[in-house]
Amino acid sequence: MNQENHSVAAKTPAYESVRDDILALLMEFEGCRLTAYKCSAGVDTIGWGHTAGVKEGGSISQEEADRMLAEDARTYYEDMQKLVTVPLTGGMAAALTSFCYNLGASYCKTCSLFKELNKGNYAVAAGKFGDYVYAGGMKLAGLVKRRAKEKEMFERDGFPMPAAG
């Protein structure tokens, strides 16, 4: 794994610098449906995985779906930032935003991946992505594929060096 020191002026890269990676991950794994449906976890969902305020039988336009995706991606990025206490690379920020988008920030707050990450155990945290491949008690091939891609993105830029202390 590339362990070279990365410039981390801020704890996490600005949203604008990782937006394209985040949106690409979300669009690849969420898919877009313009009519409300129940996701594999039984939650009413519409558009690109949007769940807030969705009612069974509802429908939206593609433009509404794309707008919701952009807003939701920024919200989940901001939520992820609040949960992380260590420096991140752009790839890490994108992967963790996708992970939070899929599982919910409140769940991520207590999950082992974030616990290990916040201890500075980057490699251990990377290995935890594969633990989150179940929905409704079943291992789902789509989640296996998503977690593998998130892990790849998380490791893409190497890990920040720990601060000298």
**From 30, 64, 78, 150, active-site residue:** 30
Contact predicate 114/88, CB 8 Å: no
Say how far apart CA 165 and CA 159 lie, in whole Å.
18
Q: Could you confirm whether 30 is annotated as catalytic?
A: yes
Place of tokens 């989940």: 76
* Torsion (CA) 108, 95, 154, 132 in degrees, nearest 10: 50
At residue 116, what are phi and psi to the nearest 5 degrees? -65, -40
Active site residues: 30
